[in-house]
Amino acid sequence: MSTAHSNGTAGRVLSIQSHVVHGYVGNKAATFPLQCLGYDVDPINAVHFSNHSGYPTMHGTRLTPPEFAEIVRGLAVNGIVGEYSHLLTGYVGQAQTLSAIPALLHDLRAVNPALLYLLDPVMGDNGKLYVPADVLPVYRDLLCPLADVMTPNGFEAGLLAGTSITSKATLQHALQALHALGPSLVIITSTPLSDFAAAAAAGAAAPPTTTTAAADSETNYLVASHPPSQTRFAIPFTKRPGFFTGTGDLFAALVLAFLDARRVRAAAAAADGETRPPSPTPSPTTTAPTSGPLTAHIRAVCVAALTCMSHVLDETAATTAAKQQAHHSSVVSHPAPQGDRTPAFMRSHELAIVQSRRWFVKDVAAAAAARDSASTARTFTVIDF
């Protein structure tokens, strides 16, 4: 019997992704926000680097498959596998280590069949892979079939679906292919979609009714699809000027924290005819399920995650400006080409995770409303399609 939620937290997350000593990507970007949101987090660090790969150089080690197996063995013999309510995987970077995750997930679900698995298939961005090519089939063939939720960016979604996402038609084809791989809820974190420009400009949407995103080349879209609840929508947002890393890692953690795992898994079970045991009774600190259709809940989760991300980027821009002023330098004031990303530039652009702690709350919209004036409040248009 799982003991998840029995210690007065929202749950316990086993998070398998990268670690850096300095900066905020991977587990460094995910752990503190999840803890602020009420979750215990047990990180397994797939790499242990001095800093992320955007710097001119980095040093450190990768977790080998035998080392991963030893860690998992320790969790098993001490009965810790029964503690987990969620599994989160991000950047691992090695096909052999990734290939060991299905067996671990089998063990976790043998103890807690209600465990939710959120897969962030970190492979690349902007048309460029930053993992070996043999990682792709592991994600596609071994991990996707086991995932409840998947949060790829547009490039990663296209790789997994076998098609580039350039239009509404190719998006629909990609979503169909991604769901066929396994996940019931797919959230594509960012992709350009010219087809939606007119709808975004007109504000065609379910509430919220306004957006800060303009219908132009600076607009990207979050896309969410959940066939069991007949949910499919896009949310436009304006691309931020500047250079940021770790945003996808943070976004995946926020979705996990805000999402009602019980409702998502129950809907998937009903859709595929499975009978799954109910999740453990939530503790008093666990957020109650959102009232109304599951569609409304998924919308609220995506809007909350985008709202929180917006404030984190605001905090990051503020700390970047402060560092610029302190050093009397313009090196951090604009996006830099790859060759100009000096260590000083990269250090100044790390996500302001600790400074953003006020935003890592369940009701981020209320926190934003309390802080923002009506003219600066973040609101987002939801476009059903």
List 107, 249, 260, 314, catalytic entry: 249
Q: How far apart are CA 36 and CA 43, in angstroms?
A: 15
- Which is nearest to 383 in space by CA: 61, 138, 216, 168? 168
Identify whether 272 is a catalytic site residue.
no
- Which is nearest to 223 in space by CA: 361, 364, 366, 380? 380
| Active-site amino acid positions | 249
